[in-house]
Amino acid sequence: MAYPRLQKRPIVFVPGLFGSMSDQIIQGTGDWHFGLARTAYEPTISMLENMGYHMGQQLFVAFYDWRQPIAYSADYLIKTIRWAKQKTGSSEVNLICHSMGGLVARAYVQSDSYQGDVNQMIVLATPNAGSPVSYCYWAGGKLPSAAAPTKNVVELYMTVYLAYLERGLPRNKIEAIHRNFPSLLDLIPSEAYGDYLLEKRDGVESFVPYDSMVTKNHVMDELNSQMDVIPARGIRVTLVAGIGQSTVHYLKTVPSRSPVKWVDGRVVGAINSKMGDGNVMMESVFALDGQKYVVEADHLSILTKSESLLKFKLQWE
């Protein structure tokens, strides 16, 4: 169904992890595009075009290097917003952000570099308090099968990319990840998530206090401590979380003997919840202040399943 074409405030769409690909990330992949994530994002672009937003006219995609810390990736967003304003003559844009894209947007609108050019942020499936699964990849280089009995598409992307990284440092996978994929640290649980490692020591299980952990998400802790700057800057925030999918809520661990790998505990299992989208818990999405909505959807289908909500939020724009 096509919607009437009106003069619209431009949209900048910010994809999530693995949603941008180019020669800059992997040689031989060409200019910026959605890469493997095109099966999720191309239908989203088509949906927005059916609402009257046309690529390069009222709709722009902020591709970025998702390997880098989110503050670095925010520079890509700034350039796309600048281009959207120049192309349309509008002084403001609306941001539609998926997953990690929401953190990239926050890194911009909460920064000293903010130019007062964002009207609203619609944030879907963004881990605003982090995700335990990211601890597995950052600290251990993998998601143990005991922690994820069923794989999803995002985990498949991660497995493929980590195998690609490991070719460069086959004897030290953790070093390869930390050197070439530092943004993973920005995705692990933050203080707002709460204690998430359930350690079994001498037959007794207890949570590892976040304050005592070596692996902390300082970037997210700072963003969350300063989130009040978003409404203070007049930016409206809509948060959309998916539920109904088995999602890692807590990780079961045992003490690690390695000074490098699994530094806060080796993952041996997980406690899952259906109050998530398969990758991100609802409570993590809602760690940011804003209008909150829940959709029965997984981490990728949440985009198209939020069509009516997006139309409603954009109808006066």
Q: pLDDT: is 1 or 243 the higher one?
A: 243
Per-residue pLDDT, 3: 42
Per-residue pLDDT, 157: 85
Percent with pLDDT over 70 in the chain: 95
User: Residue 304 burial by CB count (10 A; 0-12/13-18/19+): exposed, middle or buried?
Assistant: middle
pLDDT surpassing 60 at residue 170: no
Stretch 66-82: mean pLDDT: 97
Stretch 116-142: mean pLDDT: 96
Query: Which domains can be identified in the chain, with CATH numbers?
Result: 11-314 (3.40.50.1820)
pLDDT surpassing 60 at residue 4: no
Per-residue pLDDT, 166: 73
Per-residue pLDDT, 5: 42
Instruction: Pinpoint the alpha helices (H) of the chain.
Output: 38-50, 70-88, 100-109, 132-135, 153-166, 173-180, 218-225, 229-232, 282-285, 302-305, 307-314
CA separation for the pair 84, 92 (Å, rounded): 9
pLDDT surpassing 60 at residue 1: no
Stretch 44-57: mean pLDDT: 96
What is the reported pTM? Answer: 0.94
pLDDT in tens, 217-240: 999 999 999 999 999 999 999 999
The model's confidence at residue 158, banded by pLDDT at 50, 70 and 90, is confident
CA separation for the pair 63, 141 (Å, rounded): 25
Beta bridge partners of 277: 245
Stretch 295-301: mean pLDDT: 97
The model's confidence at residue 168, banded by pLDDT at 50, 70 and 90, is low
